[in-house]
């Protein structure tokens, strides 16, 4: 069984621990992340019309967790802090930030939001489903970017490794946008949550939400 790990270099160690000992594992980093300076993000926050009055903070990815402390002054006391996906909640917990609600996708998170204004923090290219749903309910939504995801340049060998893989771990829609024309139809794509799974399933027939320690047991059932 050949398994491709596609997160950035240095961020695949946890996933390696979930894989069968006899698997052939290759790393094919698909993206790089450009994190914005916290001072820059803070200035952006301070320039928003609702600064100091946000009733809800939505943290859309684990990469945003280090920026949440910078947003405290933008919120009213007792504001709801919500996260998209368990990985984001986990990252917040380890930074001492209490989360009052979580949903696997942004659109599902909309069901937990009944007041505004709402502050969303995440990638420069955020998905629009949640903000559109909230604005349809006449809630004010402000998006503040903390980082941008950039495509990595792949070598011919890396492209071949990705095409030959039986299993590929894809961590985000941005990674899938770079992999979808390379991954073989017969390969299984493993994703961390439903939102990424929905994006991958638009182009690929074999998708499974399965990141975590149980992945090794799951892969054993594939008979690859």
- Domains of the chain from N-terminus onward: 2-30+152-220 (3.40.50.10090), 35-148 (3.40.50.10090)
Pair of tokens at residue 38: 């916290």
Residue 224, pLDDT score: 59
Give the C-alpha separation, 91 to 144, whole Å. 19
Residue 13, pLDDT score: 86
How far, in whole angstroms, is CA 194 from its chain's centroid? Answer: 11
Please count the residues of the chain: 224
Residue 135 in this model has a pLDDT that exceeds 80: yes
Give the C-alpha separation, 160 to 156, whole Å. 6
Pair of tokens at residue 172: 């985000």
* Residue range 86-91: mean pLDDT, rounded: 88
Residue 223 in this model has a pLDDT that exceeds 80: no
Nearest Cα residue to 119 out of 164, 75, 87, 89: 75
> Phi then psi for 129, rounded to 5 degrees?
-60, -45
* Residue range 104-122: mean pLDDT, rounded: 91
Contact (CB, 8 A) for 157 and 176: no
Instruction: Categorize the per-residue pLDDT at 167 as very low, low, confident or very high, splitting at 50, 70 and 90.
Output: very high
Nearest Cα residue to 152 out of 190, 178, 170, 173: 178
């Amino acid at each position: 069984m050949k398994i491709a790990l596609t997160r950035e270099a240095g961020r695949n160690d946890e996933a390696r621990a979930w894989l069968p000992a006899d698997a052939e594992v290759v790393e094919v980093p698909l993206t790089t992340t450009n994190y914005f300076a916290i001072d820059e993000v803070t200035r952006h926050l301070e320039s928003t019309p609702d600064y100091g009055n946000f009733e809800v903070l939505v943290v859309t990815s684990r990469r945003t967790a280090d920026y949440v402390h910078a947003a405290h002054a933008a919120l009213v006391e007792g504001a709801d802090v919500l996260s998209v996906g368990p990985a984001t909640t986990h990252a917040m917990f380890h930074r001492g930030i209490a989360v009052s609600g979580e949903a696997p996708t942004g659109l599902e998170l909309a069901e937990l939001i009944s007041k505004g204004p709402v502050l969303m923090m995440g990638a420069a290219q955020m998905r629009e489903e949640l903000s559109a749903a909230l604005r349809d309910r006449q809630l004010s939504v402000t998006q503040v970017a903390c980082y941008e995801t950039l495509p990595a340049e792949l070598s011919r060998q890396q492209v071949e490794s990705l095409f030959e893989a039986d299993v590929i771990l894809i961590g985000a829609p941005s990674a899938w946008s770079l992999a979808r024309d390379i991954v073989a139809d017969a390969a299984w794509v493993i994703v961390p949550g439903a939102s990424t799974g929905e994006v991958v399933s638009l182009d690929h027939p074999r998708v499974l939400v399965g990141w975590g320690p149980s992945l090794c047991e799951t892969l054993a059932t594939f008979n690859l």
